[in-house]
């Protein structure tokens, strides 16, 4: 079976690595597991031995005959052909709690994580094999924070469970991988109505993350720098701080302050003068 380069396929074949993925999920035998990118069924079978039900989604039509041959007769496995980014997750998993365990293509990591975190009914936990560098970015704290890390922390607690060498996959990727686990909070760390504002401000801050926050936000939100300085002072954040230095709690505080009356801080997009820029 030839993996598709277009779909970013790298099949995980190492039994030791497969065992680590399943162990990272801490399945108790009662769960519904959503697997994304079933591939040739190696992880699918391991999950079926540890969970009550496995819903395995595979986008590659060429893999389906072999996949059905490997796992099709197992009563606890349901195969679904389709693109997970276009699936109705509620319809896919049905009623009740579920978790996601998968060896995913690197090229859909950010999109997939966002889709899972923002789903109307989120999984209880997510366990994914991702690029090691991406996993390390996601678990990074203030000082090395990124927009992706901030987004994940809003919804759950991320941690790296194990590292997987490139040689555990076929074809061998150019980089090592890691098993990332995210345990989702019962509720996001910001109220649902505040989340759009939270991301509006965060995107503005990280869009020019090398700039001081006062200038990045003034530029990204099109408001006067002096007003940003005043607004940051109200929540106790240094105007000279940079986006990657702030904690999740500080971003939530900024979103709350901005959401009080955003109409009062709408200004001229050209209000940041050349002398105020870093």
Tokens 């519904």 correspond to 32
The pLDDT-based confidence of 271 (bands split at 50, 70, 90) is very low
Tell whether the model's pLDDT for residue 81 goes beyond 90. yes
Tell whether the model's pLDDT for residue 209 goes beyond 90. no
The per-residue pLDDT for 145 is 96
Contact 215, 227 (CB under 8 A): no
- Alpha-carbon distance of 162 to 261, in angstroms, equals 45
DSSP code for 85? G
Reading the block at residue 261, the tokens are 């009356």
pTM of the model: 0.89
The per-residue pLDDT for 171 is 85
Percent of the chain at pLDDT > 90 equals: 82
Tell whether the model's pLDDT for residue 111 goes beyond 50. yes
Residue-range domain boundaries for the chain: 11-184, 192-276
CATH number for domain 192-276, candidates 3.40.50.1820, 1.10.8.100, 1.10.1200.10, 3.30.390.10? 1.10.8.100
Q: Summarize pLDDT for 14-49 with one digit per residue, the tens.
A: 999 999 999 999 999 999 999 999 999 999 999 999
Strand partners, 126: 100, 182
**Mean pLDDT value across residues 98-108:** 95
Q: Summarize pLDDT for 122-161 with one digit per residue, the tens.
A: 999 999 999 999 999 999 999 999 999 999 999 999 999 9
The pLDDT-based confidence of 276 (bands split at 50, 70, 90) is very low
CA separation, residue 245 to residues 1, 6, 14, 205, 278 (Å): 46, 37, 38, 11, 16
The per-residue pLDDT for 89 is 94
The per-residue pLDDT for 50 is 97
Look over the chain and give the mean of its residue pLDDT values, rounded to a whole number.
Answer: 90
The pLDDT-based confidence of 260 (bands split at 50, 70, 90) is confident
* Domain 11-184, architecture per CATH: 3-Layer(aba) Sandwich (3.40)
Contact 34, 100 (CB under 8 A): yes
- Alpha-carbon distance of 227 to 86, in angstroms, equals 42
- Alpha-carbon distance of 213 to 51, in angstroms, equals 46
Tell whether the model's pLDDT for residue 270 goes beyond 50. no
**Mean pLDDT value across residues 245-255:** 96
């Amino acid at each position: 079976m030839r993996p598709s380069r277009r779909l970013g396929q790298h099949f995980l074949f190492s039994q030791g690595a497969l065992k680590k993925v399943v162990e990272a999920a801490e399945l108790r035998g009662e769960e519904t597991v959503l697997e994304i990118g079933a591939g040739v069924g190696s992880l699918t079978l391991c999950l079926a031995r540890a969970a009550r039900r496995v819903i395995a989604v595979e986008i590659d039509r060429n893999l389906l005959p072999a996949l059905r041959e490997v796992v099709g007769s197992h009563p606890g496995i349901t195969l679904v052909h389709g693109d997970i980014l276009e699936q109705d997750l509620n319809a896919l998993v049905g009623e009740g709690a579920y978790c996601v365990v998968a060896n995913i293509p690197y090229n859909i990591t950010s999109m997939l994580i966002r889709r899972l975190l923002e789903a109307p009914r989120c999984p209880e936990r997510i366990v994914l094999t991702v690029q090691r560098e991406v996993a390390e970015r996601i678990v990074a704290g203030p000082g090395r924070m990124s927009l992706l890390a901030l987004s994940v922390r809003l919804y759950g607690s991320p941690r790296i469970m194990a590292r997987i060498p490139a040689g555990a996959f076929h074809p061998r990727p150019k980089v090592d991988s890691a098993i990332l686990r995210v345990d989702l909070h019962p509720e996001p760390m910001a109220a649902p109505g505040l989340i759009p504002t939270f991301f509006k401000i965060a995107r503005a801050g990280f869009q020019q993350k090398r700039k001081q926050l006062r200038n990045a936000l003034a530029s990204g939100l099109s408001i006067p720098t002096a007003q940003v300085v005043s607004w940051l002072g109200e929540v106790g954040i240094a105007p000279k701080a940079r986006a990657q230095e702030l904690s999740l709690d500080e971003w939530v505080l900024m979103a709350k302050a901005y959401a009080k009356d955003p109409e009062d801080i709408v200004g001229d997009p050209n209000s940041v003068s050349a002398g105020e820029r870093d």
